[in-house]
């Protein structure tokens, strides 16, 4: 698809700004605006796209934010997993640059959304937590150069994937000092560490994706979810139930007292272009007979 002259001018200006402020030459990575409102790029031969999954506030009946996901492919045809893409970049000695390019792509596409006040949830590779001082500063410049304040960004950390306590605590403190919000992902799994939650004091805690799915089959698990939500609230954090795929799971989440919800039943990850204009979610809540 050909790009209009005015978009080409904007794209060249954007490349120049990022090259000067971030020392990131996006010409090397094939930054391109495929169509209005959607960016992609290529790194190490892997074509990268962004997909956003909505997070809804059921009490407000409105969008709360979006979680960004990387959608890599080979030649734009064969899809590969984000895990493979990051592993390949790591083996090539390009993990930091790959993460930097991916985050830049997420931010550029996030800016295209109409949700002016929504939050952007971003996952952080566990091996990059220790480099938050240098790597985090670069990402902060990416945000500022694109008029996205750090307080609109939620850094998601898979707590159970980090073995050492000190680097985790230092990374969280550094991100928080710069204004980012913090989310701990996967709470409620067998590897969860409750003591760490008290230490980290996150803004959000996302329940393990399997909990709500198991609750649909197991009444005992269904009784546990409200207790987990209570623990999270006692920490001063907002719980997020993710992985909702059916009406029954949605009903269980609502009945458990959750307000922040995420899952395929509410919305699959789609591109920024597909999200324009953003529609307001109208949940169906069944009334018990």
pLDDT, tens only, 108-158: 888 877 556 689 999 988 777 766 555 566 778 778 877 788 999 999 988
Mean pLDDT of 211-222: 94
pLDDT at 77: 72
Question: Is 110 in contact with 39 (CB distance < 8 Å)?
Answer: no
Q: Helix (H, G, I), strand (E, B), or coil: what is residue 117? A: coil
When comparing pLDDT for 25 and 173, which is higher?
A: 173
Q: pTM score, two decimals? A: 0.84
Question: Is 74 in contact with 45 (CB distance < 8 Å)?
Answer: yes
When comparing pLDDT for 272 and 264, which is higher?
A: 264
Q: Helix (H, G, I), strand (E, B), or coil: what is residue 197? A: helix
Crossing angle between the packed helical segments 132-145 and 5-22, to the nearest 10 degrees: 150
Question: Is 213 in contact with 243 (CB distance < 8 Å)?
Answer: yes
When comparing pLDDT for 131 and 244, which is higher?
A: 244
pLDDT at 288: 37
When comparing pLDDT for 34 and 268, which is higher?
A: 268
| Least confidently predicted of 30-34, 51-55, 192-196, 246-250 | 30-34
Bridge partners, residue 56, by sequence: 63, 261
Nearest to 94 by CA among 118, 53, 69, 125: 125
Bridge partners, residue 182, by sequence: 155
Q: Is the pLDDT of residue 280 over 50?
A: no
d(CA 100, CA 103): 5
Rg from Cα positions in the chain: 19
Domain ranges of the chain: 47-261
d(CA 115, CA 56): 12
Whether the CA torsion 200, 203, 208, 211 is positive or negative: it is: positive
Question: Is 63 in contact with 280 (CB distance < 8 Å)?
Answer: yes
d(CA 45, CA 162): 30
Question: Is 113 in contact with 275 (CB distance < 8 Å)?
Answer: yes
Considering all CA atoms of the chain, what is the largest pairwise distance in Å, rounded to the nearest integer?
Answer: 63
pLDDT at 281: 46
pLDDT at 2: 41
Q: Is the pLDDT of residue 282 over 50?
A: no
Question: Is 152 in contact with 119 (CB distance < 8 Å)?
Answer: yes
Instruction: State the chain's mean pLDDT as an integer.
Output: 81
The CATH class that applies to domain 47-261 reads: alpha beta
Task: Give the confidence band of 241 by pLDDT, cuts at 50, 70, 90.
Answer: very high
| Least confidently predicted of 32-41, 52-61, 66-75, 178-187 | 32-41
Query: For 3-60, what is the HEC assignment?
Result: CCHHHHHHHHHHHHHHHHHHCCCHHHHCCEEEECCEEEEEECCEEEEEEEEEEEECCC
d(CA 233, CA 91): 40
Q: Is the pLDDT of residue 63 over 70?
A: yes
Percent of the chain with pLDDT over 70: 77
pLDDT at 12: 66
When comparing pLDDT for 90 and 274, which is higher?
A: 90
């Amino acid at each position: 698809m050909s790009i209009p002259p005015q978009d080409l001018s904007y794209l060249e200006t954007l490349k120049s700004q990022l090259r000067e402020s971030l020392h990131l030459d996006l010409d090397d990575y094939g930054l391109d605006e495929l169509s209005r409102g959607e960016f992609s790029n290529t790194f190490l031969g892997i074509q990268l796209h962004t997909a956003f999954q909505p997070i809804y506030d059921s009490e407000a009946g409105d969008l709360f934010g979006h979680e960004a996901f990387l959608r890599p492919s080979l030649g734009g045809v064969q899809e590969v997993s984000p895990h493979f893409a990051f592993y390949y970049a790591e083996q090539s000695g390009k993990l930091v640059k790959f993460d930097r390019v991916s985050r830049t792509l997420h931010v550029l596409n996030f800016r295209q959304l109409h949700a002016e006040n929504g939050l952007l949830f971003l996952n952080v590779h566990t091996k990059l937590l220790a480099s938050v001082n240098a790597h985090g500063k670069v990402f902060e410049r990416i945000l500022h150069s694109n008029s996205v304040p750090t307080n609109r960004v939620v850094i998601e950390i898979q707590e159970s994937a980090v073995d050492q306590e000190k680097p985790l605590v230092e990374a969280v403190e550094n991100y928080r000092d710069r204004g980012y919000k913090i989310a701990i992902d996967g709470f409620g799994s067998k590897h969860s560490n409750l003591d760490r939650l008290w230490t980290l004091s996150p803004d959000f805690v996302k329940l393990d994706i399997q909990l709500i799915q198991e609750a649909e089959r197991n009444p005992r698990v269904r009784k546990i979810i409200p207790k987990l939500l209570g623990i999270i609230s006692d920490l001063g954090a907002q719980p997020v139930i993710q992985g909702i795929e059916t009406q029954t799971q949605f009903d269980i989440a609502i009945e458990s007292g959750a307000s922040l919800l995420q899952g395929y039943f509410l919305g699959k990850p789609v591109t920024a272009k597909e999200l324009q204009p953003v529609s307001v979610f109208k949940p169906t809540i069944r009334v018990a007979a």
